[in-house]
Chain A
């Protein structure tokens, strides 16, 4: 059974039909990726799933339950975390405060401390900077904080929106290493990226979006060799 099952999702921004009849699934243990150009609707799909943008029509099932009418802050309690586009860290709060807010839905202090240690192990730089205001971190460090903050909720399913955007190649590699590590720890991942080459090499399933529609889906390895994908997304 799919962990996340999206059927015929439609989303509008005013008159603009941004997401058209999109259906996809994320199985437990999957890394699923949505790739596509700017404006294809990738971010909108994630934002709809976590309640930032309202769902117009369609059905969303998570863990076997229909949650179409419950796409809101409570999803974090049931194990969905979202690293949003542009990181959206709390710039005026310290790194530690940001991480603690990531664990807002949890109550056991011991378990939260354990997750904190775990995040610090993955991103040692965050431990060094724990007292610093998050707004003073570099772009790469902010991205790590955003991922670390999401992990603090101990998610079963993690949404990542353009985690490599604006990062130097070294940070891109670090972030992708961490994503694979998190995945190995048993977290299912839905990943939106423009860096198609990189994600197709780690994903277990891929969907290609164009102007709000899924135009192709399948095995990432095959997509890597698809001539159309190659010319449109891989720059070859």
Chain B
């Protein structure tokens, strides 16, 4: 029963990684860049929720939605100011800029909210689920997180496959100039991708802080990097890959904390990345390019 508890907690943590990883993987797929500031957008989203909910007393759900809207704008503004001027620049320049944006956001948070840890009140109010006569307790946060992750995955997949904007994203991810020739606004599509990723990051942040209720300016850094690892393991650029990678990583982290060593769990997670890169660099669902005839 202990194992099941660890496993479910792992799925819950993994769902958060998966939601963050979606932002990484979509931006990578479409804009061909690693947005290392993604984790920090999540942190900003958590602070905004915290301010609305705990300091202004607004309803938790509305607070989260407001935070998600703010994050959407922040994501688009970051893209417009920091990344768009570098379109066509070499990828190292873009990467360094992304790291710069990451530090910028952390320090903005430090300046506004201070270095003190804020204790984040969980937004989830439903009761936990007790199974097997109380032997297996699934926390209410886990229920909400896992459910939301599945809903987001389904919604996003439908959006990509069924809408024109989604098809435009697929087209831009494959060939920017050919997309222009279809009449697709490439810059608009990239901005849209940042908007979706940042919108989701706000939810991930709130879920993360509901499960682990300490909020500091560096709250987003480690989960951000782990979500990046999840995206790479799943196959960067692939949406189902982000989902699978996130879940694997979350379960692995929790199980190694429980059975191997709490201190070593991060090391184990990152060694999985190294092994993955050695064995199958394109990730679980990553496709190598189709041979052109």
Interface status of B280 (Cβ within 8 A of chain A)? no
Residue from A74, A88, A135 within 8 A of B178 (CB atoms): A88
Cross-chain contact B292 with A104 (CB below 8 angstroms) = no
Interface status of B261 (Cβ within 8 A of chain A)? no
Determine the distance from Cα of A121 to Cα of B110 in the docked complex, in whole angstroms: 64
Interface-side segment among A56-64, A92-100, A177-185, A208-216: A92-100
Chain A residues, Cβ within 8 Å of B178: 84, 88-90
Determine the distance from Cα of A97 to Cα of B169 in the docked complex, in whole angstroms: 12
Cross-chain contact B183 with A74 (CB below 8 angstroms) = yes
Interface status of B171 (Cβ within 8 A of chain A)? yes
Cross-chain contact B175 with A90 (CB below 8 angstroms) = yes
Residue from B171, B177, B287, B293 within 8 A of A101 (CB atoms): B171
Interface status of A136 (Cβ within 8 A of chain B)? yes
Cross-chain contact A77 with B183 (CB below 8 angstroms) = yes
Cross-chain contact A93 with B180 (CB below 8 angstroms) = no
Interface status of B290 (Cβ within 8 A of chain A)? yes
Cross-chain contact B177 with A52 (CB below 8 angstroms) = yes
Cross-chain contact B183 with A91 (CB below 8 angstroms) = no
Range class of the B interface residue count: 20 to 34
Chain A proximity of B230: nearest CB distance (Å): 22
Cross-chain contact A88 with B175 (CB below 8 angstroms) = yes
Chain B residues, Cβ within 8 Å of A76: 181-183
Chain B residues, Cβ within 8 Å of A104: 164, 167-168, 182-184
Determine the distance from Cα of A88 to Cα of B292 in the docked complex, in whole angstroms: 11
Determine the distance from Cα of A40 to Cα of B55 in the docked complex, in whole angstroms: 67
In the complex, chain B residues 21-78 whose Cβ is within 8 Å of any chain A Cβ: none
Interface size on A, residues (CB 8 A): 35
Cross-chain contact A97 with B293 (CB below 8 angstroms) = no
Interface status of A133 (Cβ within 8 A of chain B)? yes
Chain B residues, Cβ within 8 Å of A138: 293
Interface status of A72 (Cβ within 8 A of chain B)? yes
Chain B residues, Cβ within 8 Å of A89: 178
Cross-chain contact B293 with A84 (CB below 8 angstroms) = no
Q: Select the residue from A76, A77, A92, A93 with max chain B CB neighbours within 10 A.
A: A92
The proximity string for B residues 273-293 relative to A, scoring 1 for CB distances below 8 Å and 0 otherwise, is: 000000000000001011111
The proximity string for A residues 116-137 relative to B, scoring 1 for CB distances below 8 Å and 0 otherwise, is: 0000000000000000010111
Chain A proximity of B290: nearest CB distance (Å): 4
In the complex, chain A residues 180-201 whose Cβ is within 8 Å of any chain B Cβ: none
Chain B residues, Cβ within 8 Å of A97: 167, 170
Residue from A75, A136, A149 within 8 A of B290 (CB atoms): A136
Question: What 8 A-B pairs come out closest when comparing CB atoms?
Answer: A76-B183, A135-B290, A105-B183, A88-B178, A104-B182, A73-B180, A52-B177, A82-B181
Further contacts, 9 of them, CB under 8 A, given A73-B183, A153-B183: A47-B177, A88-B181, A89-B178, A92-B170, A92-B174, A101-B182, A104-B168, A104-B182, A135-B291
A-B contact pairs, 15 of them (CB 8 A): A50-B181, A52-B177, A75-B183, A81-B181, A88-B177, A89-B178, A90-B170, A92-B174, A97-B170, A101-B171, A102-B182, A104-B167, A104-B183, A136-B293, A137-B293
